[in-house]
Amino acid sequence: MNAPRVERARRADLPELARLAQTVHAHSFADLLSPAALRRDIEGPLSAWHLRMQARSDLFLVARRKGVMLGLAQVGVCDTPAEDLWLPCMLSPGALELRRIYVLPTAQGQGIGTALLEAAVEVAAQAGADMLLDVWAGNTSAQRLYACAGFVFCGNRMLPPDTRAHRRGASLDLIMIRRHRDRIARPAKALD
């Protein structure tokens, strides 16, 4: 199987990118969200208009094989208020957040998620920033992917009481962080 090509999305990609995000969301979360909640997401935060607004500040990466868009990742500055995060550790200033990583159901299990995640991690490495993400506690497949890329469990996200009201037994999102390696050289050991 050819390696996917991962690159930064262009403005012209946004309608296709929105369709992809909506397809993956509807397929992946149909048994977690009520039809009404799914529709709200698709017409709200995953609509082409919202994604265009988000693209003003966030970076969208797309994965293609033979020119066909198969996956996306969205990276932005972590803007969750500190009081909504429960973290027993500090984040680096300007920490980045992996807001979404979505691969079309028909293309999953072929390394596309891994390629997108590597590209997203590289963005954080270039910025010298920690990267944070949240993942539904039951999404073990995504958690394995993140752990392989060096993310570790660090806490959970406190959600508004009604946010996940329609999720069946899925009230918790876990926070995972990938630390940026400290690039500052350690001071040389003083001579005796």
Q: Using CB under 6 A as the criterion, which residues of the chain lie in contact with ligand COA when the complex forms?
A: 1, 24, 28, 100-103, 108-114, 135, 139, 141-142, 144-145
CB of 74 to ligand COA, least distance (A): 9
- CA distance linking residue 48 with residue 20, whole number of Å: 10
Nearer to ligand COA, 128 or 170 (CB): 170
CB of 186 to ligand COA, least distance (A): 35
CB of 69 to ligand COA, least distance (A): 13
- CA distance linking residue 89 with residue 120, whole number of Å: 22
Nearer to ligand COA, 80 or 114 (CB): 114
**Nearest to 80, CA basis, from 150, 30, 155:** 155
CB of 108 to ligand COA, least distance (A): 3
What is residue 67's three-state secondary structure? Answer: coil
- C-alpha 109: how far from its chain's center? 17
* Pairing state between β 131-136 and 96-103: parallel
